[in-house]
Amino acid sequence: MKTRKIKLPQLSFLSKYLEGDNEDFLESISSHVGHLVFEFNLLEERLTSFLCQLFIDDYDAIGLIVTKNMGFAEKVDLLDRFAQHKQSSLEKLINGHSKLIEDLKESGRLRNMVVHAEWNTVDLEGFAHTKLRIKSGELTQEFTQLNEDALIEIRNLIIETHNAFDDYEEDYFKI
């Protein structure tokens, strides 16, 4: 994905696209955003379900009580801690653990970027304001190109990460 960084002008709206002629673009990508959110929800449900198995294999209630108010990143961290403990205790590695954790974190980051982008100021190339960075007292606005190709790429990562759970689950319980 392409990004643009622009030093914050005196008034932040001056660097945003406010022409109002982006309706066709928004219409063309809205279904991709919806599908991306749907696929992410499936991924989070799979993660929650797997965590529930780690508490008691045939009773989800305890796992659901623990994970109820956790955000996605907290659930990923919990999975990582469970796996790190298991690997350390058994002195064996779970195949694909690092990659799965990395992909889960990236899926969450990208999903948040898409969901929280300032879609009302997206330009005709698909650049939407996604982040305000503050470094050494300087404020920089970050715009990310979230066009159809970028959204499909993000969605594919989420789907691939969801599918990776099959092998991961098998490897997790095998060691």
Report yes or no: 175 and 86 within 8 Å, Cβ to Cβ.
Answer: yes
pLDDT tens-digit series, residues 153-164:
999 999 999 999
Whose tokens are 């932040």? That residue is 12
Domain layout of the chain by residue ranges? 3-9+22-174
Q: At what angle do helices 23-55 and 72-90 cross, to 10 degrees?
A: 40
Q: What pLDDT, in 10s, does the model give residues 63-85?
A: 888 999 999 999 999 999 999 99
* pTM of full prediction above 0.85: yes
Distance CA 52, CA 31 (A): 32
Confirm if 145 and 29 have CB atoms less than 8 A apart: no
Average pLDDT over residues 46-73: 89
What residues have CB less than 8 Å from 122, skipping those under 6 apart?
17, 22, 25, 26, 128, 146
List, for residues 130-142, the tens digit of each pLDDT value. 999 999 989 999 9
